[in-house]
Amino acid sequence: MKPPVEIKDIKDFAYLTSRKLKNENGEEKGAVFLWRRKGEEEFNYKLKCPYCEEEQESSVVFNKRPYRVRCSNCGKSILVEKLSSK
C-alpha cells in the first residue's frame, strides 16, 4: 500500500505512524497509516484490512489510547500499536 499522497512534510503532523498488520494467522496481510495534522483534532487513516484486505480511508477522533480503527468492510476492530522504543 502506498503512503497517503498528502503526507509530504512530516513537520506538519502532530502524529504519524505506519504499521504492518497481521491477520489471525499471524500473516502480514494489511497495513495502516495513521496521522493527525497539527492543530486538528481528527486523525486520518488509510487502512488495508489484514482480515479482508479491503483498502479504505477515513477519519476519526480518538478519545484515549490504545487507538483502534474499525474495518468498514468486515467490521473487525484493528489495534494500532504504539511504536516500540527500540
Which residues in 48-61 are b (16+ Cβ under 10 Å) and which e?
bbbbeeeeeeeeee
Choose which of 49, 69, 78, 80 interacts with Zn ion (CB under 5 A). Answer: 49
CB atoms within 10 A of CB 31: 18
CA of residue 76 relative to chain centroid, distance = 13
DSSP run (H or E) holding 35: strand 28-37
Q: Considering the complex, what minimum distance in angstroms separates the CB of residue 23 from Zn ion?
A: 10
| 79 contributes a contact to Zn ion by CB under 5 A | no
Nearer Cβ to Zn ion, position 12 or 59? 59
User: Among the candidate windows 2-10, 18-26, 62-70, 74-82, which touches Zn ion by CB under 5 A?
Assistant: 74-82
Q: Considering the complex, what minimum distance in angstroms separates the CB of residue 63 from Zn ion?
A: 23
| 74 contributes a contact to Zn ion by CB under 5 A | yes
